[in-house]
Amino acid sequence: MAQLYHDVVDTSVGQLQLLVSNKGLVFVGSPNAALSEAKSYLNNVDAVDQAITDDQKTLKYRQQISDYFEGKRHDFDLPIDHFGTGTRLQQAVWDALVLIPYGMTCDYTTIAANIGQPSAIRAVATAIAKNPVLIVTPCHRVLRKDGGLGGYRGGLTMKRQLLALERTA
C-alpha cells in the first residue's frame, strides 16, 4: 500500500488537512474538518488511517498553499496524485480545472465542452463536487451558467472568500 503523509495548514479560512503521497498532493480538506473527511473522497481509506506526519514530505505543499492565502502565489507547481480515485471522466474534469486562470471563473458547460463531453454537464458537476484537492484543483472558480455560486465542498462562505481573494490580488 502506498504511504500517505499528513499535515495541517493554518489559513484565513481555517485549518486545512493535507494528504501527500510520494507522487504528489492527494487531498486538501474543507476548513476545520477532521482528516476522516478524506475517506469520503479517496478510494483507499486504509491509507488515510495509516497516514504519518513528515514535515519534509509535506513542506512544499504546505508552503505553496500558505503563500496562496497570503496573496503571494497565483499558480501552483505541485504534482497532483489522483491516488486511484475518480473515473476517467472525473479525472479529466479535475485536470481541466487547473487550467482555469487565477482570478477567472467559468461555468459547468464550459468545462464539459473543454473535456470533449458537451452533453455531460451533470457528470461534470458531480466530478467537481467530488474533487479531493480543494484550492490547488480550483473548483471554486466554477460557477453556474447564470453566475450563481452553485455548491462547494468547503462551503459557500469559503468559495466567496477564495473568489474575493483572487479578485483583490
Sign of CA dihedral 69, 70, 74, 80: negative
Mean model confidence pLDDT for the chain? 95
**For the residues 19-25, what does the mean pLDDT come to?**
97
Catalytic residue set: 139
| For the chain, domain boundaries | 5-69, 88-168
Residue 43 has pLDDT above 60, yes or no: yes
Quote the longest CA-to-CA distance of the chain. Answer: 44
For the CA atoms of 108, 112, 118, 119, the dihedral, rounded to the nearest 10 degrees, stands at -70
125: left (phi over 0), alpha (psi -120 to 50) or beta: alpha
pTM over 0.85: yes
Q: Tell me what pLDDT residue 51 has.
A: 96
**For the residues 105-115, what does the mean pLDDT come to?**
97
Share of the chain above pLDDT 90, in %: 95
**Beta bridge mates, 53:** 6
Q: Tell me what pLDDT residue 84 has.
A: 86
**For the residues 94-110, what does the mean pLDDT come to?**
97
Residue 1 has pLDDT above 80, yes or no: no
Q: Enter the DSSP assignment of 101.
A: P
Q: Tell me what pLDDT residue 2 has.
A: 86
140-148, long-range: CB < 8 A, 24+ apart: 141/97, 141/100, 141/104, 141/105, 141/106, 141/166, 142/97, 142/100, 142/105, 142/106, 142/107, 142/108, 142/111, 143/105, 143/106, 143/107, 144/107, 144/108, 145/107, 145/108, 145/109
**For the residues 38-65, what does the mean pLDDT come to?**
94
Q: Tell me what pLDDT residue 61 has.
A: 98
What is the distance between the alpha carbons of residues 127 and 88, in angstroms, rounded to a whole number?
10
Residue 169 — very low, low, confident or very high, per pLDDT cuts 50/70/90?
low
**For the residues 17-24, what does the mean pLDDT come to?**
97
Q: Tell me what pLDDT residue 111 has.
A: 98
Q: Tell me what pLDDT residue 157 has.
A: 95
CATH of domain 88-168: 1.10.10.10
What is the distance between the alpha carbons of residues 169 and 166, in angstroms, rounded to a whole number?
5
Sign of CA dihedral 33, 50, 92, 74: positive
